[in-house]
Structure 1
């Protein structure tokens, strides 16, 4: 059976003139249940293409049976699908909006990652950029998911 994983990035806080802070992006790969498999946090000055390369490179060692990766339409640019096929042998399939549809549309596979970001937003340390380093920011994403999984396992 093929395994698939949705990947998407999120701008946590872009650089603003009023706040005088630099932003970070979180790129998250989740399984079909929405549980985090891999997270990469980097500065907001890097493009989504670069963040996806970081995530997928880290995933190569852990998830060897992976065959299909679903991604946001932003990851379909700059030759990323071809690079993923060449480097890892995986198919990077972008989830596109239906043609001619206006307004909000629930996109298949993409809502799984959006739901994960909503779960992460419920935890104080992952809602805003409190951390000094990218590694500690990644660690708090993992801690939030560990707490979420522990609560689910403890239910009768």
Structure 2
């Protein structure tokens, strides 16, 4: 999947530690954190509804869950 909202894996490695620090659960992650981040970026960039995420992203419920976690921890806020 290649969307204009995606960032490179190299860029993602710079924000990965911050995103992993906001994790609330100890269960193993079902989806790649990069895919989840790109899906959140897609929704924020396009303004689409969560349920209308393209099928090549993880399930919308999982993406929305991570969006809520990152929002509550203020990970997605600008510095």
User: Which structure has the highest helix share of the two?
Assistant: 2
Q: Is the TM value for this pair above 0.5? A: no
- Greater Rg by CA: 1
User: Which structure has the highest strand share of the two?
Assistant: 1
TM bucket normalised to smaller = 0.3 to 0.5
TM-score with structure 1 length normalisation? 0.21
TM-score with structure 2 length normalisation? 0.37
Of structures 1 and 2, the one scoring higher in RCO (CA 8 A, sep 6+) is 2
